Structure 1
């Protein structure tokens, strides 16, 4: 650590100083995550308990166990994890800043922690989206089978949807501190990468500059994917579900009017 700090303060290159500062900041999530998760332990437990209650309610309403296929999501998370860890760890050694072999272990751990945390957020958000799709699919199937006698079933599915909406809100609340910490670190790293890239423009294409380009892309994508998953899940559970319910209601209204006309 003392050696890295001396490189940060003694080097004459502004781009190298930014690179060293970014390396220090990248370890912040590894130090802060235990504290943020500790503060949110109760919220996480409540979320898991409510998810279990949701599973039981789903079985009561549909008569079937809740089956989720997340194999595709997990494959994407694993692939992204291997790619990001490999790229960042390789770049830090190619920068030629005197990193030793053992120093790659904590760096790879910090990169893995950020990638896994982001992947877990995306996987859980996708889970909530799939739940919304399953509930709507089951509701449509029951409506087709029961026809105009589906009022009681619709009320049951409405309560199930309200529980899903509550579960979605609880999901965001249970991980607020953790992901605020990560997004702040990602944003700072993004700004440093842009600043370092601009500072190294007069030196042509170098390994350090290439590292800054990769960092800009990676951290921008990380911020985007976290926000995009949250927005998409909210839309799926909220607006799109309500729109599908409205379409079902319109279908029944039209059918009733046609039957009365005949």
Structure 2
């Protein structure tokens, strides 16, 4: 059974027959019952409690400026997407203009690769620069093509935060998230500019004009990593707040009614994590493949130079090493923050449930605790890219192992060519 199915089942059957009994004996239950009358379909109610949108709306604006994800707060309390909306029309124009630049620069890079490159390191750099142009052509598929699913994921945050408020009586907070977004966004842009200006100054054939085709691509790659980190951090904030509130409620009033409500809330958060992976499945599948391809080519170029000339640490060798390290770092951040988000959702809640002294609670509460633990065991929170892969630390080791295999094959092929020439 899917997490969303479980959430719906338990949400509709929260011991309806016992509610009146709990309401007579618990002021806490009466508070929850009163707040439960808030309409989750009312956009004004959702907007009032949607702190996540207010904190991260700058990130949405930046992705609209890049023409990658043209979604907007089209209705009160809801994020919307339309193929004829104003952000989408801007995205069309921006994409056409940047495509012209990318095609012109790409043609020149191919010309350098096929007709002007004489040395091995020049070939490698030309290949890498061509690889860096490829993500631009993925935008309609991995950006616009998943916009409806991203809207569904973003809107699920509004429902979850309202649900959290109904149970806890306070709005969900994301400490320093808005400040962090400003710092990371500026950092992504500055890194892209510095990286491209450095290449233009130090590499022959990489003119300042070429940077115009790469700027939005490098910035988009950096921002995609930042976007994933921010989403995972938000899930981590939500899981921490849920666990702390659950611990406090269990310490004050460990009842079946309270535990049943928190079970539904926990399942909603797990469903939110699952929706995040599904919404961005195309985006981060291609993102991971791009990183792996770039790392493989860069490390192959670096090791080939060592095989041919020994360790000299020329600028071009250092550039290849920096490129591979940079891509590996982005891949690690992508996998590690997913791992942390998945781990935090279940751990503290499980500890709280296991610490309850079952001999001091009634049979209904013991049953609720057992059901909650079974729900966690049957539906372990994880970030899955629509079933193609689970994003965790194991993905880093699997990617490195795959890269190593390709490198061994390529180096064996190179050594065989050298032996044939010798």
**TM-score normalized by structure 2?**
0.56
Contact 1:91 1:211 in 2 (8 A): no
Shift of residue 72 of structure 1? 6.0
What is the match of residue 260 of structure 1?
none
What is the match of residue 5 of structure 1?
110
Contact 1:94 1:207 in 2 (8 A): no
What is the match of residue 180 of structure 1?
285
Shift of residue 102 of structure 1? 2.3
After TM superposition, the structure 1 = structure 2 runs for residues 63-212 of structure 1, keeping only pairs within 5 Å, are 63-69=169-175, 70-71=177-178, 73-74=180-181, 77-78=184-185, 80-82=187-189, 84-146=191-253, 148=254, 150-201=255-306, 202=309, 204-212=312-320
Alignment of 1:248 with 2:381, yes or no, is no
What is the match of residue 76 of structure 2?
none
Distance in structure 2 (CA, Å) of the matches to 1:165 and 1:133:
13
Distance in structure 1 (CA, Å) of the matches to 2:305 and 2:182:
37
Contact 2:172 2:241 in 1 (8 A): no
Please tell me whether Structure 1 or Structure 2 has the larger radius of gyration of its CA atoms: 2
Runs (4+) of structure 1 exceeding 4 A deviation are none
Contact 2:247 2:352 in 1 (8 A): no
What is the match of residue 338 of structure 2?
230
What is the match of residue 50 of structure 1?
156
What is the match of residue 259 of structure 1?
none
Contact 2:173 2:237 in 1 (8 A): no
The structure showing larger relative contact order (alpha-carbon pairs under 8 Å, at least 6 residues apart) is 1
Distance in structure 2 (CA, Å) of the matches to 1:5 and 1:26:
13
- In the TM superposition, what whole-angstrom CA distance separates every residue of 1:51-95 from its partner, at most 9, and x where no partner exists? 111011111111112221214642662364145314521442244
Distance in structure 2 (CA, Å) of the matches to 1:183 and 1:97:
29
* Matched length: 251
Of the structure 1 ranges 157-166 and 66-75, higher mean CA displacement relative to structure 2 is found in 66-75
Contact 1:22 1:192 in 2 (8 A): yes
Contact 1:122 1:229 in 2 (8 A): yes
Change (3 A) 1:76 1:12: same
- In the TM superposition, what whole-angstrom CA distance separates every residue of 1:126-165 from its partner, at most 9, and x where no partner exists? 110110000001111122232x4x3312211111011000
Distance in structure 2 (CA, Å) of the matches to 1:90 and 1:246:
55
Q: Which runs of 5+ in 2 are unaligned?
A: 1-104, 362-422
Distance in structure 2 (CA, Å) of the matches to 1:122 and 1:151:
36
Alignment of 1:33 with 2:139, yes or no, is yes
Contact 1:55 1:66 in 2 (8 A): yes
The structure where helix makes up a greater share of residues is: 1
Distance in structure 1 (CA, Å) of the matches to 2:314 and 2:201:
10
Q: Look up the SS of the partner of 1:26 in the other structure.
A: helix
Q: Look up the SS of the partner of 2:355 in the other structure.
A: helix
What is the match of residue 216 of structure 1?
324
Q: Which runs of 5+ in 1 are unaligned?
A: 257-262
Shift of residue 235 of structure 1? 1.4
- In the TM superposition, what whole-angstrom CA distance separates every residue of 1:20-77 from its partner, at most 9, and x where no partner exists? 1111111211220232223212211211221111011111111112221214642662
Change (3 A) 1:5 1:95: farther
Shift of residue 184 of structure 1? 0.7
Contact 1:165 1:237 in 2 (8 A): yes
**TM-score normalized by structure 1?**
0.88
Instruction: Give the RMSD, CA atoms, in angstroms.
Output: 2.1
